[in-house]
Amino acid sequence: MLERARIAVVVPAHNEERWIAETVGRMPAFVDHVLIVDDASRDATCAEAARPQDPRVEVLRHPDNRGVGAAIVTGYRRARALGADVAAVMAGDGQMHPDDLAAVLLPVVRGAADYVKGNRLAYPGVLRTMPPARLAGTAALAWLTRHAAGIESLADSQCGFTAISASALDALGADLDALWPRYGYPNDLIGALTRRGLRIGEVVVRPVYRGEASGLRPWHLATIGYVIGRVAYRRFAVTAAAPPPSIGP
């Protein structure tokens, strides 16, 4: 537990046999549940996830590939069933440093935010660590998401290192299952949170890259653009549907 809060970490994984055991093995002691969600991997991800023999680990498996967003939602649902107060997300590829986990969790644990995202762009060494194309693309998508959702501060919309409170998950309710399941999921989730007036925070985390090729393709950018446009449309639709303010005598 972290400051008396029960912590679950959701680890979405697809073909991550190379890094998943290391990710599990470096999980901090304050984590109560480690929920590996194998999104129909074709390699030994499941076997490697169990190799550290950590009793906190539970492996959930999708029989069909449904996307990283769907894997995270599966983990969120299980975290709530286990009674977790806060659910964090750390990808199975080792790109999220475990030493940053407490910093991501604490604003939620202490009630200062409902949802926290890591901010890699504010890390002092980001220009030396993050590939320039990813840095520029991340900043551009954050600008678009920020304006679509109508929030003042959001520097790194695409960072997958996150934490969310149980009450925020309950507020989203059945809409969790309606979130965009693949590329574009984080942008859609931000829109859903802001429409409910939930508080979003950011903390600085270090970017970790190991020379792997990005899986992002031009058509994925088109999909993310569509999702961001949908976020903006839904925001304005909610505003238009709101009753007019009452006028006193």
Residue 116 lies in a domain: yes
pLDDT band at 80 (very low <50, low <70, confident <90, very high): very high
* Model pLDDT for residues 131-165, shown as the tens digit of each residue: 898 899 999 999 999 999 999 999 999 999 999 99
Are 21 and 59 contacting, i.e. CB atoms less than 8 angstroms apart? no
Residue 248 lies in a domain: no
Residue with tokens 């073909």: 15
Retrieve residue 156's tokens.
Answer: 């790194």
pLDDT for 38 equals: 97
C-alpha distance from residue 71 to each of 10, 91, 174 (Å): 9, 11, 15
pTM: 0.92
Above pLDDT 70, what percent of the chain? Answer: 93
Rounded CA gap, 101 and 106, in Å? 9
Residue 2 lies in a domain: no
Residue 223 lies in a domain: yes
Residue 247 lies in a domain: no
Residue with tokens 């991550």: 16
Rounded CA gap, 106 and 129, in Å? 25
CATH code for the domain in which residue 201 is found: 3.90.550.10
Rounded CA gap, 29 and 32, in Å? 8
Alpha carbon 157 to chain centroid, angstroms: 9
pLDDT band at 243 (very low <50, low <70, confident <90, very high): low
Residue 246 lies in a domain: no
Look at the chain and report how many structural domains it folds into: 1
Rounded CA gap, 16 and 181, in Å? 19
Rounded CA gap, 38 and 92, in Å? 9
233 DSSP assignment: H
pLDDT band at 53 (very low <50, low <70, confident <90, very high): very high
Query: What mean pLDDT comes out for the span 34-49?
Result: 97
Q: Which domain holds residue 23?
A: 7-239
pLDDT for 246 equals: 44
Enumerate residues 6+ apart whose C-beta is below 8 A from 28: 98, 101, 102
Residue 74 lies in a domain: yes
Q: Where are the alpha helices (DSSP H) in the chain?
A: 20-25, 45-50, 68-81, 101-109, 126-129, 132-149, 166-172, 185-195, 218-241
Residue 151's Cβ-count burial label (10 Å; 0-12, 13-18, 19+) is middle
